Amino acid sequence: MTPGVKHPAARGDERRVVHNVVRGSIGNLIEWYDWYAYSAFSVYFASAFFPEGDTTAQWLKTAAVFAVGFLMRPIGGWLLGRYADRFGRRAALTMSVTLMALGSLAIAGNPGYGAIGVAAPILLVTARLLQGLSVGGEYSTSATYLSEVATPGRRGYYSSFQYVTLTAGQLLALAVQILLQQALTSQQMHDWGWRVPFLVGAGGAVMVMWLRRSMDESESYRRAAAVAPNSAKSRGTLRALLHHPKEVLLVAGLTLGGTVAFYTYTTYLQKFMINTSGFDKPTVSLINFLALLVFVVLQPLAGRWSDRIGRRPLLLGFGIAGTLLTVPLLTVLGSTRSPVVAFLLMLFGLTIVTGYTSINAIVKAELFPTRIRALGVGLPYALTVAIFGGTAETIALSLKLAGHESLFFWYVSGCVLVSLVVYFFMRETSRRSPLEDPRQRPTPAGAATEAR
């Protein structure tokens, strides 16, 4: 065979990998579009559910509901992570997008405080809890699935598409917002226009439900199930997870700084640039859209780089830059009146965060064996995100309301510093990974053995 030319079977395998990654990623995109539509459009529907108080107070209440949704993410990470380890990644991914569709329909059809009184915010919280359950399970199963179906030696690259589609979901929400802002008046956006994105998301979720049913199950899961077909009840259990306490704590530690920084530079920065920098809503939407568009492109580039140099150098780069530069970056952003400068500062912050986002899925997946991988990836991650990521916006707005906004900058920097310590002492996960363990590969006879 000519050197450098792939065997036809190898090319076919690679196409199959791409096929599964694309189908899994499109579902991830719709899931996160639905999740972020709440944050993007909360500046319009806040008064519909919380009519009393000034703008900051109304946003604070909707941010609190956003944080409440995060409380369900650990439960979703546990329930759907366990489900994925017992019954397959494909089944769990299909279930998660079904739950998201129901949550989006509930928000779109909520009559509002003026029609049903206090029942309106209660219904909003209920729908958000359902979406939180969905997203908690989506992350764990999606990260596991993309890592398992990826080609060895390119796992960083393929798994980075989780944050490509996660951020693309936010971009889609912003694109819908920009289009609606151009087509509708501000009053129409506040009256009924904010319902449109949730109807779009529910429709997309229904389409993904059908799409995910045709995905291949991951080879790692099929082998594990084939080796011990009667062991489903022992897979994905908390008891099995507790045999890996170091890995569980490691997931929490490496997630802490990354999740706070990510939600600061994505969901909160929209309100920060309106409330503090003084930009109008359409300008902020455009800044967010352009910065996140570049951020999406950075993910696979950084993921591929991690396949060559390792995961730990990227995490260290994020930790050092995030610790030292967060406070000056947000301070300057709060005082600028130039949209171009605001865009460059947001993009700079997102570039720093890329050292975490591009590889966080594969790093977690490389820590656990197949039988508890989805649960191990999802539960400690979801707990950390619920406690720190989900409250970032609430803490920021509370400090803003109290007149101490700059304290939030130091809070973000401190969280990243904690993770930097973890990155410094952790091992390089791409080496000696259960994903690459030869005992999990097929034997010549077609059988396989499960590591640990």
- Total of domains in the chain: 1
**Looking at the domain assignment, is residue 41 inside a domain?**
yes
Q: Are 34 and 201 in contact (CB under 8 A)?
A: yes
| pLDDT computed for residue 174 by the predictor | 80
The pair of structure tokens assigned to 280 is 């109008």
- The predicted model scores a pTM of 0.78
Element containing residue 94 per DSSP (H, E): helix 89-108
Q: What are residue 265's phi and psi, to 5 degrees?
A: -85, -5
**Looking at the domain assignment, is residue 114 inside a domain?**
yes
The pair of structure tokens assigned to 209 is 């439900």
**Looking at the domain assignment, is residue 206 inside a domain?**
yes
pLDDT digits (tens, 9 = 90+) for 235-274: 667 787 888 889 999 999 999 999 999 989 988 898 899 9
| pLDDT computed for residue 436 by the predictor | 66
| pLDDT computed for residue 262 by the predictor | 93
DSSP 8-class letter at 442 = B
Burial class of residue 418, CB neighbours in 10 A (0-12, 13-18, 19+): middle
| pLDDT computed for residue 169 by the predictor | 86
| pLDDT computed for residue 437 by the predictor | 57
Instruction: Write out the chain's pLDDT in tens, 452 residues.
Output: 444 444 433 455 677 778 788 777 777 788 788 878 887 788 788 777 777 665 666 667 777 776 777 778 888 888 888 888 888 888 888 888 888 888 889 989 888 888 888 888 888 888 888 888 888 888 778 888 888 887 778 888 888 888 888 888 888 888 898 899 889 988 898 888 989 999 998 888 888 888 777 778 877 777 766 765 555 555 667 787 888 889 999 999 999 999 999 989 988 898 899 988 989 888 998 898 899 999 999 999 999 999 999 999 999 999 999 999 999 999 999 999 999 999 999 999 999 999 999 998 888 888 888 778 888 888 888 889 888 987 888 899 889 888 889 999 999 999 999 999 999 999 888 777 676 654 444 333 333 333 33
| pLDDT computed for residue 232 by the predictor | 53
CA distances from 292 to 151, 223, 305, 414 (A): 27, 38, 20, 24
Q: Are 146 and 158 in contact (CB under 8 A)?
A: yes
What is the spatial distance between Cα 65 and Cα 70, in angstroms, rounded to a whole number? 9
**Looking at the domain assignment, is residue 227 inside a domain?**
no
**Looking at the domain assignment, is residue 14 inside a domain?**
no
**Looking at the domain assignment, is residue 178 inside a domain?**
yes
**Looking at the domain assignment, is residue 368 inside a domain?**
yes
Whichever domain contains 276, its CATH number is 1.20.1250.20
CA terminus-to-terminus distance, the chain: 38
Element containing residue 320 per DSSP (H, E): helix 312-335
Residue 302 is part of which domain span?
A: 21-216+246-431
